[in-house]
Amino acid sequence: MTSRRQVLTQSAALIGAASTGLILPARAQSAKIRVGLMLPFTGTFAQLGIACDNGFRMALEEKGNKLGGREIEYFKVDDESEPSKGVENANKLVQRDKVDVLVGTVHSGVQMGIHKVARETGVLCIIPNAGMHAATRALCAPNVFRTSFTNSQPTLALGRVMMQKGHKKAVWITWKYAAGDEAGEGFKEGYLAAGGTIVKELGLPFPNVEFQALLTEIASIKPDAVACFFSGGGASKFIRDYAAAGLAGKIPLYGSGFLTEGLLDDELAPSAQGIVTTLHYSTSLATKRNDAFRLAYAKAYKMQPDVYAVQGYDAGQLLIQGAAAVNGDFSKKKALYVAMENAVIDSPRGKWTMSKAHNPVQDMYVRVVKGKENVVQGVAAKALSDSGAGCKLG
Ligand code: PHB
């Protein structure tokens, strides 16, 4: 029998060994890295969440499903694009599942909840879509990185494109929540600077799709053009209703590229012809990097990628670079963050870098819907950086 004294002596020896670093690091290194995915898998943004998830996993699969030499364990939460459950859902991953990194999410309102938890707990967070300004502006944080955009980035260059086509008076229409409002800010800034006038701003609550009364109003205003932010299932309905109201071809429709992204199937494409958008990606980008990505994605998931898949993929690429720099030891936070800040991401959208506020510095493309593709017409803004206003990092 082992005496109580012997047990105590043995445990003391163990603790001693651990504190000199002989035991604990070895165990920590062999444990799996816990990756939490908080995304919408139901509702109007379900398709977006699935694409982010697919892209992220594909990046890791390309590296043998390892981060800095360690195996990965996934934890998943469907956030339903429901802002009121944002904090609770983020805590399921951070407090209950004890993830090392939280990857999420799509919806800016839900991101608010994740951001609160990330700031309070210090957990590493990578945003694969949601563009809420505060995350990389006034509320920026050393442990929060974004691989997508800020909400005003894609619409900043849209106004100039519209003015070049002679559309001087426009109606702006969107869902009334952070993403729509901030996309509107970007549009207004660019369009006014280019000499345009916004004759009316229209909105409806997220995720409503009762567009009829608003489309009737647009028809009576008769602007030169309409610009908008919609996305996912709601964007598809907006494009169909716009055409059904007889406005397609009469009053040209513009938007941030989310409007047509991942949606151009046989059913929707006829209503979407000629829609011009600005975005940081298009499947039609003719580069070797994009061709290889498209091929691999189609093979793995039996569907075409879109911007959300690319952003998820780049979240994976960013994490891979960070983890490699610290050999999978996520407790080396400073070195991890420095590596992520200095990462150059070889993305299917084109190479991009991180701004000081942890948001991509990237090109914006002009695209037009032809057939079932968003065909790139040119670069609307080169190496576009968000202002990062109020962020004191770096
Ligand atoms: C957002 O809520 O930040 C958001 C959602 C869908 C998009 C873009 C931005 O396509």
First and final C-alpha spacing in the chain: 59
pLDDT at residue 387 greater than cutoff 80:
yes
The pLDDT of residue 3 is 46
The pLDDT of residue 394 is 76
- Stretch 89-115: mean pLDDT: 98
Does the Cβ of 281 fall within 6 Å of ligand 1? Answer: no
- Ligand 1, atom 9, lies closest to the CA of 130
Ligand 1 pocket check: which of 39, 50, 151 to mutate, most ligand atoms within 8 Å of Cβ?
151
Alpha helices, DSSP H, located in the chain: 4-19, 24-30, 46-62, 86-91, 108-121, 153-156, 158-164, 178-193, 212-221, 232-244, 269-272, 288-301, 307-325, 333-341
The pLDDT of residue 22 is 45
Q: pLDDT tens digits, residue range 117-131?
A: 999 999 999 999 999
- Stretch 137-157: mean pLDDT: 98
Ligand 1 pocket check: which of 107, 177, 386 to mutate, most ligand atoms within 8 Å of Cβ?
107
- Ligand 1, atom 3, lies closest to the CA of 130
- Stretch 61-90: mean pLDDT: 97
> Is 356 exposed, middle or buried, given 0-12, 13-18 or 19+ CB atoms closer than 10 A?
middle
pLDDT, averaged across the chain: 94
* Domains of the chain, start order: 33-149+285-354 (3.40.50.2300), 153-279 (3.40.50.2300)
Does the Cβ of 131 fall within 6 Å of ligand 1? Answer: yes
pTM of structure: 0.92
Going from the C-alpha of 148 to that of each of 47, 215, 290, 355, the distances in angstroms are: 16, 30, 17, 12
The pLDDT of residue 331 is 95
- Ligand 1, atom 7, lies closest to the CA of 231
Strand partners, 368: 276, 375
Residue 106 C-alpha to ligand 1 middle, in angstroms?
6
Q: How many angstroms separate the CA atoms of 148 and 26, rounded?
A: 35
Q: pLDDT tens digits, residue range 258-282?
A: 999 999 999 999 999 999 999 999 9
